[in-house]
Structure 1
């Protein structure tokens, strides 16, 4: 695609994590840059926590930015010069843009969750649940607040892990209750559940009939699929939103960041870009 503007200079980008070989982020980003006409390289690079600071600090001027998986989303915070509002709010940045010698951190996971749910026809929640207590759970809570919810229940194996989520929920005007994971079997009255645990996690509990019948499940992990929780949800006749939807929409916002410096600034011909990204992971 070309709108007559001069093409941007070649740049390098990567998604970091460990393990990372399964990531579909390279396919998504390469599809976007092909449509946009950018001569940009995007790859998956195996980087564990111990190597993050050295990797970030050793990038030269050819590098435009990075996508980050857990636990790097939290560990990168001391390495950036400025965080956007959502990254400050959640204490997690899944995106870093190199900008004239400065490192800018962004959280596009919140928008990814909202976008995936919108694709599935879910644009509002009154009372939602979150499975897990880490950084992605924080993004899920922020997304739930954007959907208009007034109450959230967090289901975790270790309640202490969710301690940081309580002040976050309070700052967003949400009432929060932290529950043992076993209470998924008896939970009811929720219209949405966002599962944020690593892919393939065996929770040791099956969601109850009232929960699967009354709420939509968004499973943010996409590999392996279906997860044990998704399989149980589908067995119960419930509705599930695939984790690839979140990956797609958070990646679109990352492309905005890398191209425009702003996750809210739409791309030229964005509908075509999104369609190509969606087709790349179909």
Structure 2
């Protein structure tokens, strides 16, 4: 897991549990604090033993640029949270088997987390934020049948996010933080300090509203508390983390991920952290 910061990341817990359940004792998974300026050198320094990388902010766009091949969701969103080694890595550098394939498993993670929370027939959605993770949310919502997405932002949305939504066939509205519109699902992609004033949520509609706050940690976020008080269903951010990690495990190992073993390890670690 690379990014800045990464000390809080639960990804090592998930991946190590998967490797143990799959009988891969030689596999390891570590955190490494890497910023954008140090990314290229860090990537070039990896030897042939590395099968893949998980990337978090602020490296999702840099990872995409470093890849030789780009998967469909990574291309659509302009961001990658996963790099998978092409071949065995023995070619080195930018040629042969030293190349990397970029993927974006955040998209499937969002879809599965929302589905677990009861989101089924959805047509209208709100996405809080407009950065790389917001683009993953837009891509996920498009696959779920959403037709209109409202981007809720503090100032101006990133133009590439608006363009991506329109390319996906979605009608796009832009509103300021706290200007709530009717929605079947809401996905928040910004940290808690950036969402002040969002607690004045409207009551859930007749068919219900599902919130996914991608932020995870100890207990509910303020946004999740406000959503629950308004009668919304809440998809925990750790569910997205779990589901995107299962797809990473499949891509990196070539085996189906042991979902329940990973889920149990996640629960145990969250309980330990309190």
Q: What is the TM-score normalised by the length of structure 1?
A: 0.86
Q: Residue 122 of structure 2 contacts residue 146 of structure 2 at CA under 8 Å; is this kept in 1?
A: yes
Aligned pair partner of 2:22 in 36, 61, 76:
36
CA-to-aligned-CA distance 1:170-208 (integer Å, 9 cap, x gap): 111111111111313xx22x1110111125544233232
SS at match of 1:43: coil
Following superposition, the deviation at residue 250 of structure 1 comes to 0.3
TM-score, structure 2 normalization: 0.88
What SS is found at the alignment partner of 1:158? coil
Which of residues 233, 246, 254 in structure 1 aligns to 2:248?
Answer: 254
Deviation track 1:108-132 (CA, whole Å, cap 9, x = no partner) reads 0000001111222323311111001
Structure 1, residues 7-57: CA drift from partner, whole Å, max 9, x if none? xxxxxxxx0111111110001001111111112000111112221111111
Q: CA RMSD of the aligned region, Å?
A: 1.7
> In structure 1, which of residues 25, 30, 46 is the aligned counterpart of residue 33 of structure 2?
46
Among 173, 198, 203, which residue is 1:205 paired with?
198
Greater shift in the superposed pair: 35-44 or 220-229 = 220-229
Structure 1 position 60, deviation (Å): 0.5
Name the counterpart of 2:213: 219
Runs of 5+ consecutive residues of structure 2 not aligned to the other structure: 87-96, 268-274
- 1 or 2, which has the higher strand percentage? 1
Aligned to 1:21: 7
Separation in structure 2 between the aligned mates of residue 135 and residue 93 of structure 1, nearest angstrom: 9
1:12 equivalent in structure 2: none
Structure 1 CA distance for aligned equivalents of residues 205 and 222 of structure 2: 14
Secondary structure of the residue that 1:183 maps to in structure 2?
coil
Aligned counterpart, 1:181? 177
Which residue of 124, 138, 141 corresponds with 1:141? 138
Which residue in the other structure is 1:279 paired with? 264
Count of residue pairs the alignment pairs up: 255
Q: Partner of 2:166 in structure 1?
A: 170
Residues of 2 paired with 1:53 and 1:136: CA distance? 21
- Aligned equivalents of 1:151, 1:45: Cα separation in 2: 38
Deviation, structure 1 residue 80: 1.4
Going from structure 1 to structure 2, the CA distance change for 1:179 and 1:202 (only over 3 Å counts) comes to closer
Q: Is 1:196 aligned to 2:189, yes or no?
A: yes
Q: Give CA-to-partner distance per residue, 1:140-193, whole Å, 9 cap, x none.
A: 01110111111111100012x332122211111111111111313xx22x1110
Tell me, yes or no, if the aligned pair for 2:154 and 2:177 is still in contact at 8 Å: yes
1:126 and 1:177, CA in 2 relative to 1: closer, same or farther beyond 3 A? same
